Amino acid sequence: MGVLNCTPDSFSDGGRFLDEPTALHHARKLVEDGADFVDIGAESTRPGAPAVSAAEQIARVGQLVSILAAEGIACSIDTTLPEVAEHALKQGAAMVNSVDLRPAKELAGLTRSFGAELCLMHSRGSMTHMAGFSSTSVDAYSDVVEEVWCEWLEARDQAVNAGLDPELLYFDPGLGFHKNAAHSLTLCVRLAELAKRGHPLLVGPSRKSFLVAGFRPCEPAERLGATVAACLLLADNGASVLRVHDVAQVAQALAFREAAARV
């Protein structure tokens, strides 16, 4: 899954893909590089980012989904707002990708109506009120894997009770969201435990600060090596979908992994 941020303030590439021609070019390049999905977001989820209204998100997305869908490119809409999700679903979006568990019921009803998929990511509320990636107290979880799963299950049940087919529901453990570096690393290492629990896993490690917690500080765009390493680990541990900015490099690494496995 390739990332397309139509935002001025995303932590890694904010402001790069604001106009429609540039966004379309990037989306097509992501697919050319090996992405199966293009995940379009119009609201930054970086720590402290202000909330963006549904009207503004819809204006930023514009007709991107309909244009790409007409070209046969599968799109997901990265939003927590039902109005934005409905706008994208009407244009042909194949998935709604929510970084908040709270709107699970409403988003499930929408995706069911359109025959689309839904990804619910674990977090403990909005990132607007979080000081920074990986800043969560070590005491926030006693067993991060089990607590993330149990909290996610509550939202899963709301989605299923709203009529969504469980087979169309993805689980994202939310690396970096209300979790410190140790929590996120633990989820990566123990992901296989979650992969056995009946839902495909969509995981987004790309360029996040926890990747370099044991290394020298560097900017998000300089975290490619750790991103690729994390993606290989996650794939080995059962991730079904990897959400990344650097599609070509990750796809190349995964292709080598598959070739080596065949030998």
Q: Which residue has the higher pLDDT, 45 or 255?
A: 255
Residue 10 is predicted with a pLDDT of: 58
Residue 155 is predicted with a pLDDT of: 98
SS3 of 2, please?
Answer: strand
What confidence category does residue 49 fall into, taking pLDDT thresholds of 50, 70 and 90? Answer: confident
What confidence category does residue 45 fall into, taking pLDDT thresholds of 50, 70 and 90? Answer: confident
Q: How far apart are CA 70 and CA 62, in angstroms?
A: 14
Nearest to 40 by CA among 14, 75, 74: 75
Residue-wise pLDDT tens digits, 122-173: 999 876 666 565 568 999 999 999 999 999 999 999 999 999 999 999 999 9
Q: Which residue has the higher pLDDT, 127 or 99?
A: 99
How many other CB atoms are found less than 10 A from the CB of residue 1?
23
pLDDT mean over 106-124: 97
Q: What share of the chain is helix, strand, coil (3-state, %, to 5)?
A: 50, 15, 40
Q: How far apart are CA 77 and CA 91, in angstroms?
A: 11
Given 90, 208, 223, 262, the catalytic residue:
208
pLDDT mean over 18-47: 93
Residue 17 is predicted with a pLDDT of: 76
Given 16, 243, 257, 262, the catalytic residue:
243
16 is an active site residue: no
Number of Cα atoms under 13 Å in the Cβ half of residue 204? 23
Its domain, for residue 256, covers 2-262
179 is an active site residue: no
Residue-wise pLDDT tens digits, 54-98: 999 999 999 999 999 999 999 999 999 999 999 999 999 999 999
Nearest to 1 by CA among 255, 211, 259, 239: 239
**Over 90: is that where the pLDDT of 11 sits?**
no
SS3 of 172, please?
Answer: strand
Write the CATH number for 174.
3.20.20.20
Domain count, the chain: 1
Task: Write out the two tokens for 200.
Answer: 């495909």
Residue-wise pLDDT tens digits, 177-221: 999 999 999 999 999 999 999 999 999 999 999 999 988 889 999
Residue 40 is predicted with a pLDDT of: 97
Residue 96 is predicted with a pLDDT of: 98
How many other CB atoms are found less than 10 A from the CB of residue 145?
17
Residue 136 is predicted with a pLDDT of: 84
